[in-house]
Amino acid sequence: MRKLQFICIGVLACCLLAGLARAATFQLTGGQTLTGEPASPTEKGVLIKLEDGTYSERTAWDKFSQDDLKKMAAANPKIAALVEQYIEPSEEEKKAAEKAAIVIKTDYARLDHPAPGSLFKGLFSSGIGVLAFLLIYVANIYAGY
């Protein structure tokens, strides 16, 4: 019987600790903090479910600190798609982007234009040209008959 009581107490303690672990503290740019978990993210912002079960007003993405935006993006892929435009790249990412700059090559070998030829040479140099000439010739003879 005591084992069952210890198991129930252990499960209850784990549930309470899991609920506390989910709640995060978000630092806003104005110096304010919000403690809770993000809910209902949209392009305009996010609602924060506070610890007492109520919801805060919609907070715009640009009000959150850069660290909190990165944490939310890492935790939820839906939020990551919404906040990627608000996350400023770090110094290492800026340096990597500068190193990987695209180089446009302008000194490449140019192709020569083909030599100009006569109309009759072009007409009789392919099978389709010969066939077209024969069809026109036969149609002319038929029309004259």
User: What confidence category does residue 136 fall into, taking pLDDT thresholds of 50, 70 and 90?
Assistant: very high
| pLDDT value, residue 21 | 45
> pLDDT at residue 2 above 80?
no
| pLDDT value, residue 67 | 84
| pLDDT value, residue 137 | 95
Residue 73 · residue 83 · CB < 8 Å: yes
Residue-by-residue DSSP string for 51-112:
TTS-BPPPBPGGGB-HHHHHHHHHH-HHHHHHHTTTPPPPHHHHHHHHHTPPPPP---PPPP
Mean pLDDT score across all residues of the chain: 81
Choose among 75, 7, 89: nearest CA to 38. 75
- pLDDT tens profile 48-104: 888 888 888 888 888 888 888 888 888 888 888 888 888 888 888 788 877 777 778
Q: Phi and psi of 82, rounded to 5°?
A: -85, -30
Mean pLDDT, rounded, for 102-112? 84
Pairing label, strands 33-39, 47-50: antiparallel
User: What confidence category does residue 141 fall into, taking pLDDT thresholds of 50, 70 and 90?
Assistant: very high
| pLDDT value, residue 110 | 86
As a whole number of angstroms, the distance between CA 75 and CA 58 comes to: 19
Q: Which position has the token pair 């939310």?
A: 72
| pLDDT value, residue 90 | 80
| pLDDT value, residue 15 | 53
